Amino acid sequence: MDLAAIHAAFRRIAPYTHRTPLLTSRLLDELLGKRLLLKAEHLQKTGSFKARGALAKALTLKAPKGLLAVSSGNHAQGVAYAARVLGVKALVVMPEDASPFKKACARAYGAEVVDRGVRAENREEVAQALLEETGYAFIHPFDDPLVMAGQGTVGLELMAQAGKAGVFPEAVLVPVGGGGLLAGVATAVKALSPTTRVYGVEPEAADDARRSLEEGRIVRLPEAPKTRADGVRTLSLGAHTFPILRERVDGVLTVSEEAILEAERLLFTRTKQVIEPTGALPLAAVLEHGARLPETLALVLSGGNRDF
């Protein structure tokens, strides 16, 4: 997965996605003593960057009968939207106890939600059985080079928009769960600007990415971590994302639950934008690690799907 793959993904998905704006906030800049560029993926189709990766993959499939995803969150909506673009059906396997709000979101985008008797432990089996039964195409939430390339279009746009605004981001901060978004963004940013640092951000309670990069092997969490940031409760990085992160990412910053909450509050009250906890991770990193970060920072606000 390289810059050419991201360019190709961009050409495929451009007709169906927004070039989300790069927002600034003088209030936040003054408060934090930084110059922040906020990549507004909460304003992307489906309310998160996940539409990019799902579309980037789905648009390479030859006449699929339908799309199938396992997700309790934004990936479900991304795949539902991709299926709508293709004019096929979407099946989403979700645990029975997943939030009714998230289920309603997936249904609102046209997906059929399969949740009867589904638990975190058996959902892969349920998905496998459905794949065999339906012949639908499986879209992985992160561990697929085409999905990663799709998420990388966030980095492509971000650097182009910053350049147009005449601002040079010294570092880019990206939430990391399975690593698809981080791998894509790091690939684009490092190709376009090798001196720009790229950091992943994850909750302290879900520090597998940090440990994986430090130990040089994929560290797996023993169970789903308890964190507000429900978009990064993944147990581990993927076989495809890990080597890319090792090569192209400068480090992973971990943040406390208090910092995440405070970052959400700042985004809500100061920028008037609805950002979900996972999307607030980069700002939480500025709150907790600002002293050792450069002045001009691009933050990827990954999504805004939260209940009213």
Nearest to 48 by CA among 280, 292, 297, 298: 280
168 touches a copy of itself by CB under 8 A: no
308 touches a copy of itself by CB under 8 A: yes
Residue 111 carries which DSSP code? Answer: P
From the list 48, 71, 193, 302, the catalytic residue is 302
Strand, helix or coil at 201?
Answer: strand
47 touches a copy of itself by CB under 8 A: yes
304 touches a copy of itself by CB under 8 A: yes
307 touches a copy of itself by CB under 8 A: yes
43 touches a copy of itself by CB under 8 A: yes
DSSP 56-80: HHHTTSSS-SEEEEE-SSHHHHHHH
**Choices 118-126, 144-152, 200-208, 267-275; region in contact with a copy of itself by CB under 8 A:** 267-275
DSSP 95-108: -TTS-HHHHHHHHH
Residue matched to tokens 């940013």: 189
19 touches a copy of itself by CB under 8 A: no
Which of residues 19 and 220 has its CB atom nearest to a copy of itself in the complex? Answer: 19
**Choices 5-13, 70-78, 247-255, 270-278; region in contact with a copy of itself by CB under 8 A:** 270-278
Residue matched to tokens 């058996």: 122
Strand, helix or coil at 39?
Answer: strand
Binding site for a copy of itself (CB under 8 A): 42-43, 47, 264-265, 268-269, 272-275, 304-305, 307-308
The residues carrying an active-site annotation are 50, 302
